[in-house]
A and B are shown apart, each in its own frame.
Chain A
Amino acid sequence: MTPNLWEQFRRHFQEAGGQPYATSATKAVDMLQTIIAGANGKQLLFEASAISEFSLHPEAWLPESSFSITPAPTPKGWDRKRRLERLLTVDMVVSTADFLIAETGSALVILQKHPGQWHLWLPPGIILLAAPHQLVDSLPTAFHRLAQQSSLLQQGYVLLTGPSKTADIEKRLVMGMHGPRMVYVLLIEDAPSPGG
């Protein structure tokens, strides 16, 4: 990892109202617990990819009643209504980012890699996990790397730069207008890059 890149991302993400943290794989769970406790997260939803990519095993450190895991989509699909009802009771989501862009302090999420997408907008808090190889310097670099994954872009992608916000009332900044008001990025500094 280039420390300067993370430092630039951290500063820009923080200026946009986001909360960036970096830790090692062995301390990732401790850090998650600290973030969740600080945000008063009672009901959590883990995206399956976050658990598998970063070996989180929430059953080992969370009471069973306090978390759920996004189910893998079946050919029949999900029950839209039940999924929506569930998401409206969730306080925090643990998901993953596909790129972190230092220039703007943004996380890029390719929707096809993350079954469902309401979890990115509906709960009040979201934690995005990322590995160092996902850090890029600028928007052009991110789009260049995105173009190499064109088969995954059918459902589009989003760039998240801090929490949902508004300044529509006398230019006063208010966080959490329609989407999450707490957005965390947790970089796992020693997470392996693909193929190595």
Chain B
Amino acid sequence: MWKISTHTRGLKRRIRAYLRAGRYRENIYRATTHALAQRRRAVAEIPHWEALREQAHQIKREVIDNLEYHLERFLHHARQQGITAVVAQTAAAANAEVEAIARRHGVQTVVKSKSMVTEEIGLNPYLQQRGFDIVETDLGEFIIQLAEERPVHLVGPALHKSRQEIGHLFHQQLGTPYTDDPTLLARIARRALREKFLAADMGITGANFGIVDSGRVVVIENEGNARLCMTLPRIHVVIMGMERFIPSETDLPLFLTLLCRSATGQRLTAYVSVTGGPLPSPFPEGPEQVYYIIVDNGRTRLLRDPWLKQALYCIRCAACYNACPVYQTVGGYPYGWVYQGPIGAVITPEFLGPRMAGGLPFLSTLCGACTDVCPVKIPLHRLLVYQRHRMLQRGSGAWWEKKFFSFFEKLASHPHRWNKTLQILGTLQRHAGIPRWLPGWSPSRKLPRVHPQNFFQWWKRHQSSEPS
């Protein structure tokens, strides 16, 4: 099993390790650039895309600013449909709730569709340790579960794996003849998982959106596994983050347009399910009981910060992952936890604390590509700067970095000292070749040359040579 660590002290070591993982990096780069190209094509079809982004931003802002009100209304409407809906304050409470439901209904086998919040709360190991058979049914997640790894991407959990690796994995774990044909591999998974669907007593799904005025949830997918998780087992459990609300079903076209085009570059994914309570008795093709577990697990902490609460607008499309040059280069694993890319670098320190994840906001070039692609206009690069500041205030960062930047600040804020330093550095570099090497910089980049003339000198000369 791959060791997953979020500790800031291991961050650089992890990055170096993944920079050396050639095939992993190739697969990540190919997948992210492909997704970006698909997104560009899909977005170009919508001339008023920017207006849609702005509209979605305003809706999410209203929802997050009044989250308690929307949560109460959602719970009320869900309960009216016969759904048992609860709020879990912590990951432990959410897991315990799922276990209690499973025990109450005598559940043995659980089928599950892709859900980041269940990764966040560690549901799979929790249930496995207690003797339940829990099976991931999204193909990417199934591959990851067999390989005992963690998802590397929100939308494509196994996009770092080659078809040959998957072929060997299926051969070893499922006992099927080796093949690297994606169609045959998908067919093998379909057959193995169909049996699990038919045997399962409980289906667990996430929710892309919770609709406040109807109490229904929306699940978006391409494979159809979520739909089977919802309808084949007797019990359906929806686990969702408490920020996933949209006010009304009439807002859904807007959010479907933004999410599908941003995530996979599709006009709409193959299946969009808008679903609610248990079916009345003459219709047996659905669950007998439906439960909603709405997870806080630190979200109210984000809500209290006037800047960071904007991260709760996120609709989990992963466009910021694909656009981020850091993610494109090192993929998701160095981030060390469930949420990766720019949005992960913003929110993970709030979930895990500065000691464990204080280094993540520094995994960015601050180029702003993430902000440009975000369908709900979260100012991600600004939030990254804000988080860097907070992490440093809360004790993250090396002592020598702090000393260095404090010294640099003293130099750079005083023109005379700054010019003098540059002059000395320039002379040393030209005549003695010093410094030749800087740790953390030189192995992958050339040192910039200090120009013999600084800007002020150039300006003076330029002005004096200009015709009057």
Bound CA–CA A49/B49 (angstroms): 39
CB-based contact A161/B269 at 8 Å? yes
Binding site secondary structure of chain A: loop
Contacts of A106 in B (CB 8 A): 267-268, 272
Contacts of B159 in A (CB 8 A): 168, 171
CB-based contact A170/B216 at 8 Å? no
**When the two chains form the complex, which single residue of B190, B214, B272 contacts A159, counting CB atoms closer than 8 Å?**
B272
CB-CB nearest 8 A-B residue pairs: A179-B224, A139-B253, A73-B282, A168-B140, A178-B224, A164-B224, A177-B223, A159-B272
CB-based contact A169/B166 at 8 Å? yes
CB-based contact B139/A156 at 8 Å? no
Q: How many of chain A's residues have a CB under 8 angstroms from any CB in B?
A: 56
Contacts of A27 in B (CB 8 A): none
CB-based contact A117/B250 at 8 Å? no
| Residue of B whose beta carbon sits closest to that of A85 | B198
- The answer, yes or no, to whether B357 is at the interface (CB within 8 Å) is no
Whole-angstrom distance from the CB of B28 to the nearest CB of chain A? 11
CB-based contact A168/B279 at 8 Å? no
CB-based contact A169/B139 at 8 Å? yes
Q: How many of chain B's residues have a CB under 8 angstroms from any CB in A?
A: 64
CB-based contact B276/A174 at 8 Å? no
Bound CA–CA A120/B272 (angstroms): 13
Whole-angstrom distance from the CB of B118 to the nearest CB of chain A? 18
Whole-angstrom distance from the CB of A196 to the nearest CB of chain B? 28
A159-188 residues at the B interface, CB under 8 angstroms: 159-172, 174, 176-180
- The answer, yes or no, to whether B415 is at the interface (CB within 8 Å) is no
CB-based contact A80/B284 at 8 Å? yes
Bound CA–CA A176/B132 (angstroms): 29
**Beyond A76-B282, A161-B266, A168-B139: 5 further Cβ-contacts under 8 Å?**
A140-B250, A153-B214, A168-B143, A178-B190, A178-B224
**When the two chains form the complex, which single residue of B253, B268, B286 contacts A155, counting CB atoms closer than 8 Å?**
B286
CB-based contact A178/B137 at 8 Å? yes
Whole-angstrom distance from the CB of A19 to the nearest CB of chain B? 14
**When the two chains form the complex, which single residue of A74, A79, A168 contacts B156, counting CB atoms closer than 8 Å?**
A168
Bound CA–CA A18/B131 (angstroms): 42
Bound CA–CA A169/B156 (angstroms): 9
CB-based contact A170/B163 at 8 Å? yes
Contacts of A155 in B (CB 8 A): 275-276, 279, 283, 286
| Residue of B whose beta carbon sits closest to that of A173 | B182
CB-based contact A177/B158 at 8 Å? no
Residue pairs across A and B with CB atoms within 8 Å: the count is 174
**When the two chains form the complex, which single residue of B250, B271, B285 contacts A179, counting CB atoms closer than 8 Å?**
B271
Contacts of A58 in B (CB 8 A): none
CB-based contact A164/B282 at 8 Å? no
Bound CA–CA A104/B269 (angstroms): 9
Provide the B225-249 mask, 1 if CB < 8 A to any CB of A, else 0: 1011001100000000000000001
Q: Can you list 14 pairs linking A and B with CB atoms under 8 Å apart?
A: A80-B284, A121-B224, A143-B252, A143-B253, A146-B249, A147-B250, A155-B283, A159-B268, A166-B222, A167-B222, A168-B158, A170-B182, A171-B30, A178-B197
**When the two chains form the complex, which single residue of B157, B163, B268, B277 contacts A161, counting CB atoms closer than 8 Å?**
B268
Contacts of B283 in A (CB 8 A): 73, 77, 115-116, 155
A112-146 residues at the B interface, CB under 8 angstroms: 115-118, 120-121, 138-140, 142-144, 146
- The answer, yes or no, to whether B193 is at the interface (CB within 8 Å) is yes
Whole-angstrom distance from the CB of A177 to the nearest CB of chain B? 4
Which positions in B face A, CB cutoff 8 Å?
Answer: 27, 30-31, 34, 81, 137-140, 143, 156-159, 161-163, 166, 182-183, 185-186, 189-190, 193-194, 197-198, 214, 216, 222-225, 227-228, 231-232, 249-250, 252-253, 256-257, 264, 266-277, 279, 281-286
CB-based contact A169/B266 at 8 Å? no
Whole-angstrom distance from the CB of B211 to the nearest CB of chain A? 11
Whole-angstrom distance from the CB of B316 to the nearest CB of chain A? 17
Bound CA–CA A86/B242 (angstroms): 40
Contacts of A104 in B (CB 8 A): 267-268
Bound CA–CA A83/B250 (angstroms): 35
CB-based contact A170/B284 at 8 Å? no
CB-based contact A116/B139 at 8 Å? no
- The answer, yes or no, to whether A1 is at the interface (CB within 8 Å) is no
Bound CA–CA A16/B267 (angstroms): 9
Bound CA–CA A174/B188 (angstroms): 12
Whole-angstrom distance from the CB of B52 to the nearest CB of chain A? 11
- The answer, yes or no, to whether A154 is at the interface (CB within 8 Å) is yes
| Residue of A whose beta carbon sits closest to that of B253 | A139
CB-based contact B279/A179 at 8 Å? no
Bound CA–CA A167/B34 (angstroms): 11
Contacts of A163 in B (CB 8 A): 270
Contacts of A118 in B (CB 8 A): 231-232, 285
Q: A77-B281, A104-B268, A117-B231 are in contact. Are A178 and B253 (CB under 8 A)?
A: no
Contacts of A154 in B (CB 8 A): 81, 276-277
Bound CA–CA A175/B161 (angstroms): 20
- The answer, yes or no, to whether A189 is at the interface (CB within 8 Å) is no
CB-based contact A12/B274 at 8 Å? no
Contacts of A38 in B (CB 8 A): none
Bound CA–CA A161/B224 (angstroms): 11
Whole-angstrom distance from the CB of B153 to the nearest CB of chain A? 10
| Residue of A whose beta carbon sits closest to that of B226 | A178
**When the two chains form the complex, which single residue of B34, B143, B267 contacts A12, counting CB atoms closer than 8 Å?**
B267
Whole-angstrom distance from the CB of B375 to the nearest CB of chain A? 15
Contacts of A162 in B (CB 8 A): 270
CB-based contact A158/B222 at 8 Å? no
CB-based contact A160/B285 at 8 Å? no
CB-based contact B186/A174 at 8 Å? yes
